[in-house]
A and B are shown apart, each in its own frame.
Chain A
């Protein structure tokens, strides 16, 4: 039996929802729950893992708080490995608050962050990597993170790591048999040396590939930049606000309202996108304004997608064509204010340059979906180039891969390295791979156990 006390917490997000789930875990979970239920007999006799309808009362006062359903999980067959109850009550802050307040009026206390998972770990119900993956899963903000997290949770990448482990083991077998059984500096020795070098190169490629994928994921996680660039008063801020769905930038018909750039993150189909509203391009004397314009040009060149917006009721400004060309093929055109005028010259220019463009009036809010879709089509290529199928799912894992890369580089750089030194590096790599899948008790893991988890309990 567990020597822990009994804890409770809301398992669903706080706020208004149809239902909420409250978890209780610990030796007193059943006893304490019974004391709040009207149907005590029913609960006491209920079999584990069955769900029944109960009335939750405020203790003593016998006030009805809510009609709930509850499930009993008997230790060790529960998430935490302890006796557990899950109460499903109606959502809404007050109901949840009243139930929780009742529960903690006795011997139950509020759980600390992650305490349920910790208990699961302490009771041998989950491994450190699973515990880590649960945390990763809960805090996933993007599809990429979520995909990695669930793969980590179900051990989906373990197979890949095991294959690499086997590769390293093969290298070690080659090295060790040369050390133990091949005393002479003969042909067999040199032959085995060659094989080792080839295998090291092979593994290096694989590790690099994963790191590269991770880089791309991290890049896109930081946000894909979409810059809105164009001459003054072309409607950049209007477009910006349209895309965000609310007024973020001040819009004024006076030219040069936006002097610096304004940016805002927005998640579009799981991908974080940073829309950037820039200062309008023009020849100006004012130093501050000039700086703003320089930034705009930089953004035009460096963003993943650059939206060149230009007004249909005005002619091309002097630098406009040059700048569009400088932006290259990631530029898309928006021919704005189409309600005011046609502009065949500008349309022809975009066509000639092979750039896609859209005729719109950004002032009309019903244009939003059309405009968004148009711009995102351009961003799609960037998004598609990111492979979510990446073994590395956390900073910890990234660090492990970087360490592996260091070891590989140490081997790769030196031609005259002795067998036992190469073997030393290979063993380090093996340890790292073990650590990656949690099959190795290493410093980090042990410290976690000692420092974070259960010491002092």
Chain B
């Protein structure tokens, strides 16, 4: 067997990597331990959310499959944060896990360049400092020009339920016990992280009358720009709160937690704490909110969001039974915590290629991230760059100003992460620019140039953008008189004292596009366009400011630091900074400036040194 690119792992990173690389013409072999679990959602049955929803849109704009699959497998859709500004809206869908998997499989099978093979990769084959293939459990040696690693939590995975430990990749599937060592053999340093998942329960054993219903949006928003079918809500979620007795049970049994007993050494995510963490650290005056979410349409298994724990089975049972409406509950799968190997992402280039081993790419949870969406966008970038390198083309590095994907990868490779990294909108300094509604405008032109998106779709989007521009142009010319404004009783919203250009009036926080259209007697654009037009105009001033900032910083951002740059020869660096710079070896001054602990003074000193070394900072650009 031989192929251009081998992708190890069929999770959300692996499938995007395989899919895009195959689309770009590479012959791809996707090796996964169990082909039935391709696209498995190991934790919550939902895709998207705040910031995460934006990533799904970006993956879609770049030709990935997550958005399309979610629109097909989604069973309840909600746009979160609607009361806040568009820039922080987050689209979220509950998905049927079985439908999600089958749709992933179907989409992968559409790519003729893509082969799927069930096996366990046990070793990487190297030639000098380059990876050139893999060895598998079944004794295959498969050659490839590039290998993309996307093994999620499988590397030396160890699940904890109370003091019981189970060696597994996730419960029910064997771990990968040899591969991690084979990667570390080449000097790639690894660490250990922890994450957890709550119990799944039988929905037929719950008294829903004690829970409050949470329904989907009346008119759901699709994730994919290619989706034309109407999305329908087919299931509901439920909200509930923990009780005093739940908290008492947790307190009484805390000594049985492997986390509090010090048995788990891996670091878990702060933002997704276990229920015992929540109770002990944040108190329990009002109870902690939980959500009960369907795992699928064809069965009654439900996911108890917010209740992850590593307490023993018997304690878990008592805890769950103490919840309102859960007295008769039957547990299907207990909650567990899982520890796994990850590789410090600071050992990667922005293309996700290893700095230590050529043609070896790392994507997803093995880079220290958490979340399906975070994994997917990395898989896409790794697959894309592996394919481009194969074709001897320039790599694609997404900047922080282009996408959440760019922010995520830049954060990982320059700062690294000590806990599972999750995306937040506040991680993006250009948040107002990186909206979920404009991912297509931000990324699709690039994707189109590289042949990642469907031509017909791209043309359709171009039409949409053109129409929007025309509409905005009109709003920039039409004047609104005080009389016209007052005649529709709009003066309560804001006072118009003299004639004002429609687009300027729209910039006032109280005014909406529908107000304007009503007064100037324009028909409202459709919902999708209205949102973007309104946001573009309302945010115009801020975006202009941010763009100026981006331009201003680009000189520093892209100023290259030579690979052989000798930090010891630079006087005046703080010794802590010197150590970090030597360890990370940033490629550009921009990266250097984002390393935590590196001060602006350090950057000034570096600039001076670079200038002295006669490096023309203004002309150098990042590769």
Pick the interface stretch among B146-154, B260-268, B363-371, B604-612: B604-612
Q: How far is the CB of A367 from chain B (nearest CB, A)?
A: 57
- Find out whether the CB atom of A449 lies under 8 angstroms from the CB atom of B612: no
- Find out whether the CB atom of B552 lies under 8 angstroms from the CB atom of A420: no
Interface flags, A50-62, vs B, CB<8A=1, else 0: 0000000000000
A-B contact count (CB 8 A): 101
- Find out whether the CB atom of B51 lies under 8 angstroms from the CB atom of A180: yes
Which residues between 195 and 224 of chain A lie within 8 Å of chain B, taking CB atoms?
Answer: none
Residue among A178, A421, A427 with max Cβ neighbours from chain B (10 Å): A421
B-side contacts of A423, CB under 8 Å: 426, 431
B-side contacts of A427, CB under 8 Å: 429
Pick the interface stretch among A33-41, A117-125, A380-388: A117-125
B-side contacts of A122, CB under 8 Å: 608
Residue among B432, B593, B607 with max Cβ neighbours from chain A (10 Å): B607
A-side contacts of B593, CB under 8 Å: 441
B-side contacts of A125, CB under 8 Å: 572
- Find out whether the CB atom of B50 lies under 8 angstroms from the CB atom of A420: no
Given contact pairs A123-B571, A183-B50, A183-B80, A445 touches B600 in the complex (Cβ within 8 A): yes
- Find out whether the CB atom of B571 lies under 8 angstroms from the CB atom of A443: no
Which single member of B432, B600, B617 contacts A438 (CB below 8 Å)?
Answer: B600
**Is residue B509 within 8 Å, beta carbon to beta carbon, of the partner chain?**
yes
B-side contacts of A449, CB under 8 Å: 604, 607-608
- Find out whether the CB atom of A416 lies under 8 angstroms from the CB atom of B571: no
- Find out whether the CB atom of B84 lies under 8 angstroms from the CB atom of A454: no
- Find out whether the CB atom of B608 lies under 8 angstroms from the CB atom of A446: no
- Find out whether the CB atom of B604 lies under 8 angstroms from the CB atom of A443: no
Which single member of A180, A184, A418, A454 contacts B424 (CB below 8 Å)?
Answer: A180
**Is residue B81 within 8 Å, beta carbon to beta carbon, of the partner chain?**
yes
B-side contacts of A415, CB under 8 Å: 509-510
Q: How far is the CB of A365 from chain B (nearest CB, A)?
A: 56
Q: How far is the CB of B239 from chain A (nearest CB, A)?
A: 10
- Find out whether the CB atom of B572 lies under 8 angstroms from the CB atom of A81: yes
Which residues between 73 and 120 of chain B lie within 8 Å of chain A, taking CB atoms?
Answer: 80-85, 87-88, 90
Q: How far is the CB of A417 from chain B (nearest CB, A)?
A: 5
Q: How far is the CB of B428 from chain A (nearest CB, A)?
A: 11
**Is residue B603 within 8 Å, beta carbon to beta carbon, of the partner chain?**
yes
Which single member of B50, B51, B85, B508 contacts A418 (CB below 8 Å)?
Answer: B85
Q: How far is the CB of B382 from chain A (nearest CB, A)?
A: 27
A-side contacts of B432, CB under 8 Å: 420-421, 424
Which residues between 566 and 623 of chain B lie within 8 Å of chain A, taking CB atoms?
Answer: 571-573, 593, 599-601, 603-605, 607-608, 611-612, 617
- Find out whether the CB atom of B509 lies under 8 angstroms from the CB atom of A414: yes
- Find out whether the CB atom of B599 lies under 8 angstroms from the CB atom of A457: no
B-side contacts of A439, CB under 8 Å: 599-600
- Find out whether the CB atom of A418 lies under 8 angstroms from the CB atom of B509: yes
**Is residue A91 within 8 Å, beta carbon to beta carbon, of the partner chain?**
no
Q: Which residue of A lies closest to B602 (CB)?
A: A124
A76 to B608, CA, bound (A): 16
- Find out whether the CB atom of B601 lies under 8 angstroms from the CB atom of A127: yes
Q: How far is the CB of B577 from chain A (nearest CB, A)?
A: 11
**Is residue A239 within 8 Å, beta carbon to beta carbon, of the partner chain?**
no
- Find out whether the CB atom of A189 lies under 8 angstroms from the CB atom of B83: yes
A185 to B79, CA, bound (A): 13
In this complex, the interface size class of chain A, counting residues with CB under 8 Å from chain B, is 35 or more
A416 to B510, CA, bound (A): 6
Which residues between 522 and 543 of chain B lie within 8 Å of chain A, taking CB atoms?
Answer: 542
A124 to B601, CA, bound (A): 8
Given contact pairs A179-B81, A441-B556, A446-B556, A420 touches B87 in the complex (Cβ within 8 A): yes
**Is residue A191 within 8 Å, beta carbon to beta carbon, of the partner chain?**
no
**Is residue B425 within 8 Å, beta carbon to beta carbon, of the partner chain?**
yes
Q: Which residue of A lies closest to B599 (CB)?
A: A439
**Is residue A264 within 8 Å, beta carbon to beta carbon, of the partner chain?**
no
A204 to B491, CA, bound (A): 29
A-side contacts of B555, CB under 8 Å: 446
- Find out whether the CB atom of B601 lies under 8 angstroms from the CB atom of A3: no
**Is residue A283 within 8 Å, beta carbon to beta carbon, of the partner chain?**
no
**Is residue A455 within 8 Å, beta carbon to beta carbon, of the partner chain?**
yes
- Find out whether the CB atom of A418 lies under 8 angstroms from the CB atom of B608: no
Which single member of A76, A127, A420 contacts B85 (CB below 8 Å)?
Answer: A420
**Is residue A419 within 8 Å, beta carbon to beta carbon, of the partner chain?**
yes
Residue among A3, A127, A418, A438 with max Cβ neighbours from chain B (10 Å): A418
A176 to B88, CA, bound (A): 10
A438 to B602, CA, bound (A): 12
Which residues between 415 and 462 of chain B lie within 8 Å of chain A, taking CB atoms?
Answer: 424-426, 429, 431-432
Residue among A183, A185, A417, A455 with max Cβ neighbours from chain B (10 Å): A183
Q: Which residue of A lies closest to B431 (CB)?
A: A420
Q: Which residue of B lies closest to A421 (CB)?
A: B85
Q: How far is the CB of A449 from chain B (nearest CB, A)?
A: 6
Q: How far is the CB of B561 from chain A (nearest CB, A)?
A: 15
A124 to B608, CA, bound (A): 9
- Find out whether the CB atom of A454 lies under 8 angstroms from the CB atom of B608: yes
- Find out whether the CB atom of B612 lies under 8 angstroms from the CB atom of A3: yes
A415 to B494, CA, bound (A): 11
Interface flags, A119-142, vs B, CB<8A=1, else 0: 001111101100000000000000
B-side contacts of A450, CB under 8 Å: 607, 611, 617
- Find out whether the CB atom of B612 lies under 8 angstroms from the CB atom of A454: yes
Which residues between 1 and 52 of chain A lie within 8 Å of chain B, taking CB atoms?
Answer: 3
A-side contacts of B50, CB under 8 Å: 179-180, 183
Q: Which residue of A lies closest to B508 (CB)?
A: A414
Which residues between 419 and 441 of chain A lie within 8 Å of chain B, taking CB atoms?
Answer: 419-421, 423-424, 427, 438-441
- Find out whether the CB atom of B572 lies under 8 angstroms from the CB atom of A419: no
A443 to B552, CA, bound (A): 7
- Find out whether the CB atom of A416 lies under 8 angstroms from the CB atom of B80: no
Q: How far is the CB of B581 from chain A (nearest CB, A)?
A: 14
Q: How far is the CB of B437 from chain A (nearest CB, A)?
A: 14
Residue among B426, B555, B556 with max Cβ neighbours from chain A (10 Å): B426
A128 to B424, CA, bound (A): 33
Which residues between 397 and 426 of chain A lie within 8 Å of chain B, taking CB atoms?
Answer: 414-421, 423-424
Q: How far is the CB of B83 from chain A (nearest CB, A)?
A: 4
A-side contacts of B617, CB under 8 Å: 450
Which single member of B426, B552, B603, B608 contacts A180 (CB below 8 Å)?
Answer: B426
Which single member of A419, A421, A441 contacts B542 (CB below 8 Å)?
Answer: A421
A414 to B510, CA, bound (A): 9
- Find out whether the CB atom of B600 lies under 8 angstroms from the CB atom of A416: no
Q: Which residue of B lies closest to A185 (CB)?
A: B83
Q: How far is the CB of A185 from chain B (nearest CB, A)?
A: 4
Q: Which residue of B lies closest to A183 (CB)?
A: B80
- Find out whether the CB atom of A179 lies under 8 angstroms from the CB atom of B608: no
Q: How far is the CB of A1 from chain B (nearest CB, A)?
A: 9
A-side contacts of B552, CB under 8 Å: 443
B-side contacts of A414, CB under 8 Å: 508-509
- Find out whether the CB atom of A419 lies under 8 angstroms from the CB atom of B604: no
- Find out whether the CB atom of B81 lies under 8 angstroms from the CB atom of A183: yes
A438 to B604, CA, bound (A): 11
Q: Which residue of A lies closest to B573 (CB)?
A: A124
A454 to B87, CA, bound (A): 41
Which residues between 196 and 217 of chain B lie within 8 Å of chain A, taking CB atoms?
Answer: none
Q: How far is the CB of A67 from chain B (nearest CB, A)?
A: 36
Q: Which residue of A lies closest to B424 (CB)?
A: A180
B-side contacts of A179, CB under 8 Å: 50, 81, 84, 88, 425-426
- Known interface pairs A81-B572, A185-B82; 20 further A-B residue pairs with C-beta atoms within 8 A, sorted by A's residue number: A3-B612, A76-B571, A76-B572, A81-B571, A124-B572, A125-B572, A179-B81, A179-B88, A179-B426, A183-B81, A183-B90, A419-B85, A419-B88, A420-B84, A420-B431, A421-B85, A424-B432, A424-B542, A450-B607, A450-B617
A-B contact pairs, 8 of them (CB 8 A): A124-B572, A180-B426, A183-B80, A415-B509, A416-B509, A441-B593, A443-B552, A454-B608
| Residues of chain A at the chain B interface (Cβ within 8 Å) | 3, 76, 81, 121-125, 127-128, 172, 176, 178-181, 183-185, 189, 414-421, 423-424, 427, 438-441, 443, 445-446, 449-450, 453-455, 457
Top 6 A-B pairs ranked by shortest CB distance?
A124-B572, A418-B85, A185-B83, A441-B600, A416-B509, A183-B80
